[in-house]
Amino acid sequence: MGKKAQFGSKIGLVAATVGSAVGLGNVWRFPAEAQANGGAAFLVVYIACVFLLGVPVMVSEFALGRAGRSDAVGAFKNLGASKPWWGVGALAVCASYMILCFYMVVAGWTIEYLWASLTRALYDIDTSASMESSFAGKMQDMIGGSYRPLVATYITILINICVLAVGVQKGIERLSNILMPVLFLVLLVMCGVSMSLDKAAEGLAYFLNPDFSKITPSVVLNALGQAFFSLSLGMGILITYSSYFPNSTKLTKTAVTVSLLDLLVAMMMGIIIFPAITSFGLQDANLEGTTLVFVTLPEVFNMMPWTRLWSTLFFLLLTVAAITSTISIAEVTVAFVSDRFRTSRIKACLITLMPLFVFSTVCSLSLGVWSGFRIADMNIFNLLDTVATNIILPVVSIGVCVYLGWVAPKNILQDEISNYGKAGRHPGYLIRIIIRYIAPALISLVLISYFLNV
Ligand code: PHE
């Protein structure tokens, strides 16, 4: 096997990791969660979760990946972990593959909307019906049909194959270096536009108005779950990416930078969405993910001058966020296949991604024509999401913390955080306490509360 791949620059590795973290979680989950859970009060809890727990857990995943220098399973094995421990890595690979199955389909929807905005087909609506029902009907056609969403998913899979087959530096890193600046630029423009709307201040107050009475234990647990999902923790992504970090990368600084940027994007999304929907009197509309981006926001764009421009920019943003996340999720399995089975990268890409053509075909049919096909009262789509995000993700995060904090030789975490003594001052002691005690305890609470349905 050739030499282990590495990211070529500091900016490139941060761009790639931010590309993974910034995804649909920031765009459609965060604003709705914040608004439903007490506005600014939720934000305070969320920020605490990101920095007190998210960052230390991210540093642990980085330490594990860079010390183990392999895929999510191989990293544990290279550190001499015995059976149950590398099983944590195996679970991460399973979770990421499950998430990949539906994330590819949703990323396809964003491409469809981007195309429909560019061609203006999205705004070619029945004027006799209300705008809301027209766009809801459009959404049914766009994401519920069987042929169009399927083609869009195939396109997403092909993009993934092309980028991942080229390699870490020339594929993932180069793409992130191009797309992340585009993402931030579009975000800035859209924030500017939204803030210049009539009732911008009122909209912001609606989003950020602190209601501390709404903070309950379940809000804290929601914030924690949102933080972990948004930072791409517990899925082997950060273990895999950090195996490509050079030895000189400062892990804590990288984790803080990535988390800050991820938070910034989430906040900017709120700043875009709330002034816009308030200014057009849509604040009582359903803010739940798909309806927010595929029905409510098109209503807003339709009422604005330059509809096509704003709509295209917004769906470009969404597509970029989604595609860079799918790439990171797919890389977990690609790295696993190529490291474990010693295959070439290209073969690993095909082994990982070709089955998705079959899966998405079945999935698209199950959402459209076969909408009656259900398991345990959920369609396959929700089932994959629920099992992966609510169960496997916390289990893997606890596994990583307990392994590094209690089982692995103590020097591994220390050496990686301090770059073998070369990193100057670093919060190694604090991180160690968090990953030994606080993180496993709190994440276990999230898991238990899920099972008790709190
Ligand atoms: N962090 C991504 C988001 O916020 C979600 C994601 C989940 C990315 C799993 C990769 C893997 O949407």
> Which residue among 33, 293, 325 is best mutated to probe the pocket of ligand 1, counting the most ligand atoms within 8 A of its Cβ?
325
Q: How far is the CA of 246 from the centre of ligand 1 (A)?
A: 24
> Which residue among 232, 233, 239, 327 is best mutated to probe the pocket of ligand 1, counting the most ligand atoms within 8 A of its Cβ?
232
Q: How far is CA 86 from CA 79, 183, 237, 331, 396, in A?
A: 10, 36, 15, 18, 11
DSSP tag of 122: G
**Is the pLDDT reported for residue 372 higher than 70?**
no
Work out the burial of residue 65: count CB atoms within 10 Å of its CB; fewer than 13 is exposed, 13-18 middle, 19 or more buried.
Answer: buried
String of DSSP letters for 13-33: HHHHHHHHHSSHIIIIIHHHH
- Helices in 119-173 by DSSP H: which ranges? 131-139, 147-166
Report residue 224 as tokens: 């924690």
- Asked if residue 54 lies in contact with residue 232, where contact means CB atoms within 8 angstroms, the answer is no
User: Residues lining ligand 1, CB < 6 A?
Assistant: 20-21, 23-26, 99, 229-230, 232, 235, 237, 325, 328-329
pLDDT of residue 64: 97
> Which residue among 18, 110, 228, 230 is best mutated to probe the pocket of ligand 1, counting the most ligand atoms within 8 A of its Cβ?
230
pLDDT of residue 320: 96
pLDDT digits (tens, 9 = 90+) for 194-250: 999 989 999 998 888 888 888 888 888 889 889 999 999 999 999 999 999 999 999
pLDDT of residue 381: 65
* Mean pLDDT lowest among 19-33, 137-151, 214-228, 367-381: 367-381
| Chain-centroid distance, C-alpha 431 | 24
Nearest ligand 1 atom to alpha carbon 24: 12
Q: How far is the CA of 280 from the centre of ligand 1 (A)?
A: 30
Q: How far is CA 234 from CA 300, 305, 322, in A?
A: 36, 43, 18
Rg (CA), the chain: 21
pTM comes to: 0.93
pLDDT digits (tens, 9 = 90+) for 169-187: 999 999 999 999 999 999 9
Distance CA 334, CA 349 (A): 6
Q: Find all residues with CB under 8 Å of 355, minimum gap 6, and list them.
A: none
Closest CA to 336 of 87, 72, 2, 4: 72
Distance CA 68, CA 59 (A): 14
Distance CA 260, CA 14 (A): 11
String of DSSP letters for 87-113: HHHHHHHHHHHHHHHHHHHHHHHHHHH
CB atoms within 10 A of CB 402: 17
**Is the pLDDT reported for residue 391 higher than 50?**
yes
DSSP tag of 375: B
Q: How far is the CA of 1 from the centre of ligand 1 (A)?
A: 30
